[in-house]
Amino acid sequence: MRVHLQAEAEAERLQRRAKLQGLLSRFRGEPDVLLPFHQVLALRPKGEHHLGLRTIEVEKVVGSVDRYEDFDRHFLPKTPHTLERWKRLRALELTGMEFPPIEVYQVGEAYFVKDGNHRVALAKATGQKFIDAYVIALEVPVPVAPGDTPKDLILKAEYAHFLEQTRLKELVPEAEAIRFTALGRYDLLLDHIATRRYFKGLEEGREIPWEEAVVDWYRNLYRPTVEAVRRLGLLRDFSGRTEADLYLWVMDHRYFLAQELGVDLGPEEAVRSYEARFGPWWKRLGGGLKRLLFASRVV
């Protein structure tokens, strides 16, 4: 009886904690859901390997195959049925019962529960650091991290599709990861490659293979622009953004200048121009003073 009373009391505290976490998440505008495993399938897994019984870190279990709606992102029960099941398991645990290993999919550094969601919820609530699990590892081109949100998974799925379309990692082994903070940007990169391919074909009077266009775009357009962004420290002026974000903005600005001035600036000149026009006010002011000084000298 004492075991059941303790489990009941802990379940009530857990319920209050889940409600508080839900309020905090809404206040912060953060998602309060477990990562659904079906979104992982959009990462284009190339295969899977059964790793057998392993001891894994509980904090890295961040999603579920089919029970992601029953728990919040901390694996706190969200429904009366789920809470009741948690309470029964906790009572059994307090009697000294040992539970069988759970089953999980490993995707990068994160784990998704195939079987044993309530046991994971119990482990997290009681501060357990490790848990035994039968692990199936998925091979994905873009790994998942424990701190990823549902939006991160969608972004990574878009990136996986881009890598599949371009074979960039195969064609340019030294290519660095391309990360965006907004959805739908990888399609713009595909447009950039197609445009590069078209004009290169006109210049050279031949049909440019897609693979050649991908390599040419990365080595002669994307990478030089990103390197210029790094040299000028432009990323510091745009907190929360990525080099790929800035690449697109600089390229849009470069196109505008080509239409406005009739001249295509190189990557570094385009980055400097973008900084002078859209950077912090003191840099825009500095750019304006330079233009005035230049104009006065010309006069």
Whole-number pLDDT of residue 279:
67
Q: Which residues of the chain fall short of a pLDDT of 50?
A: 281-282, 288-299
pLDDT for 268 equals 82
Residue-level pLDDT at 296: 42
Strands (E), the chain: 35-36, 47-57, 61-64, 102-107, 110-115, 130-139
Q: Give me the pLDDT at residue 267, please.
A: 82
Predicted pLDDT of residue 292: 37
Q: Mind listing the pLDDT tens digit for each residue in 250-292?
A: 999 888 887 877 777 788 888 888 887 776 644 555 554 444 3
pLDDT at 275: 83
Mind listing the pLDDT tens digit for each residue in 96-133? 899 999 999 999 999 999 999 999 999 999 999 999 99
The answer to whether 75 touches 120, Cβ cutoff 8 Å, is yes
* Contact between residue 129 and residue 57 where contact means Cβ atoms under 8 Å apart: yes
pTM here? 0.80
> Where does residue 140 rank: exposed (0-12), middle (13-18), buried (19+ CB within 10 A)?
buried
With H, G, I as helix, E, B as strand and everything else as coil, classify residue 50: strand
Contact 7, 90 (CB under 8 A): yes
What domains are there in the chain, each with its CATH number?
2-139 (3.90.1530.10), 167-298 (no CATH)
How far is 110 from 145, CA to CA, in rounded Å? Answer: 5
Residue-level pLDDT at 290 = 46
